[in-house]
A and B are shown apart, each in its own frame.
Chain A
């Protein structure tokens, strides 16, 4: 039975078959039917990467296979969400080595996107912490790959948007923590210039990210809040917290109840929001100790926050440009402010070095922005693409719903190699998505 599905941006939406599996032989049966499909986790990529007329859901394939509490080696099936992993590992004194801004993704989806977090400049992306994984190919064959075994499959699967095969089992190395709290520092930056130098000044912090008000012009252009953090040690905690230093945060979620009508988000309401958001930090600098939840997952507190963008949905645009193309940030942010298409906030982060075939991160500045789907948006984003290319940048496939194949080719120098590996492991393109067809990574013939 076809049902309506969409990923987090609610754009695009489509009719699709969704089938799930609990046991290995059930996955074999689903793959064996021979109709093209793409694996789908929790639908938290933003665009069309995990959309296809036929999807195979990994959500019921979510078992923890082993967890060594001494060494921090964690083994699981791919459909488990980071949220569920945290509930098990945090009380035992371990943390995810890398986490994106939501814990509601599956680990399989996280690897297919090679997700990064606030610690990329120190710890790299998630692929850096994966010891081994199983990939089920379109031929039903299961291959265990690692940096040593089938390194081509390993590398092309990390960030490969599910096109090499279905990631089924994952072994990763966790990060040791003393407490479940984060020692946080927030610093207000008056403008982009100040923000960029603050990033540099505080580059030794394990976690760093900034939220920028993109609608501010003039001398406050790029005013922002830089958020820095370290895992708190026992000594950072108040006496009362020391009784239970690895406590899990309480569930305090609220649900965004309905799709907001599209007229609510406009230049004025977004300006007002940003004014309040920036204004809530009275002091130049705040230092405190908070639970990991508000630090890493502030938006997870509002379930279905994507409804804020209305039924038409939104597109998230995330690019990275090299460190020496700093001017590009100014040009691009200016262009966005001029257009006034209503990005609430932009998230800026500095990536460290990374070598990979198809993963998004590379050394430089990465900026992520939300744009509600409106008339003229797609044309505007095509324009932004040209600017990103001019500064030698590229886009994140996990956020993408609309880029043209030329944009991908220009941004990813190893793309031909990636295509060769897809050809080798997924020769008949039985595994393909709306995105991979659009980007000409796969085709029906």
Chain B
């Protein structure tokens, strides 16, 4: 049985992805800052799906500990999925460098730090998969998602580069770009029903993309075309828009 490592395992999307892979008979490694919190999820996955499930401490911001963290995983995971990420209030972050830096360091630097290590391992093994949960917000910079969007844009570029670098080493790198998702973080927002997915839908689409070895997937699929339109607006026009 193959093992999946889920980094940032406390979010609604991460939990749904963990359950989806467990239901497909993958062993699960959950990692988050406070692993004690993961205990109920760990027992739940073991009992419901009859697979192995373990929980580990992992902090995206503690870059220096990432190598040791990955090396001591036993077994080393066959698939590494990064789900962690933060989306602070953009106005607050703009006025407070610490918040800006934390957002960039979590969404981009932390992801690069751990995925460099995982990618290297998979490259040596000549097999493995990396799945990065990013966002459609990285497709074009705009005022309302200034820092978050730019951190995700950098992450998207990193994943694309990683895909290119490790293609010949048989490492599958998949970028996942969800649009709106109903989660605890968004339950107080009025989201357009037709454009919004549930965490379970995200998980199913991620799993399907993984089995089909996709490169970049949007959740749901039509977000690819929405973003295509947004990307095609000329910058001289785009800069005047309220987005």
Contacts and interface: CB of A to CB of B under 8 A. Distances in A.
Given A63-B40, A67-B47, A22 B187 contact: no
Contact of A63 (B43, B188, B190): B43
Interface residues of A, number: 21
A436 interface: no
A408 interface: no
A287 interface: no
B48 A64 contact: yes
A23 B14 CA distance: 14
A66 interface: yes
Contact of B184 (A22, A67, A87): A22
Contacts of B44: 62-65
B187 A18 contact: yes
A1 B40 contact: no
A80 to B, nearest CB: 9
Interface in B155-185: 184
A20 B187 contact: yes
A22 B189 contact: no
Interface in B1-58: 10, 12, 15, 37, 40-41, 43-44, 47-48
Nearest to B49: A88
B227 to A, nearest CB: 25
A46 to B, nearest CB: 25
Given A18-B187, A20-B184, A23-B10, A64 B37 contact: no
Contacts of B43: 63-66
B47 A19 contact: no
Interface string A7-30: 000000000011111110110000
A45 B190 CA distance: 26
Nearest to A18: B187
A65 B12 contact: no
B188 A1 contact: yes
A18 to B, nearest CB: 7
Given A22-B12, A23-B10, A88-B48, A77 B184 contact: no
A88 B190 CA distance: 35
A242 interface: no
Contacts of A87: 48
Nearest to B40: A63
Interface centre among B12, B40, B41, B189 (most CB of A within 10 A): B40
Contact of A22 (B10, B47, B188): B10
Contact of A60 (B12, B47, B48, B189): B12
Given A63-B43, A63-B44, A65-B44, A1 B184 contact: no
Interface centre among B47, B184, B188 (most CB of A within 10 A): B47
Interface string A32-53: 0000000000000000000000
Interface in B169-213: 184, 187-190
Nearest to B190: A1
Given A88-B47, A88-B48, A65 B187 contact: no
A60 B184 contact: yes
Given A22-B15, A60-B12, A64-B48, A77 B40 contact: yes
Interface of B: 10, 12, 15, 37, 40-41, 43-44, 47-48, 184, 187-190
Would you list the 6 A-B pairs with minimal beta carbon distance, nearest first? A63-B40, A63-B44, A64-B47, A64-B44, A1-B188, A67-B47
13 contacts: A1-B187, A1-B190, A18-B187, A19-B188, A23-B37, A25-B37, A64-B44, A65-B40, A65-B43, A65-B44, A66-B47, A77-B40, A88-B48
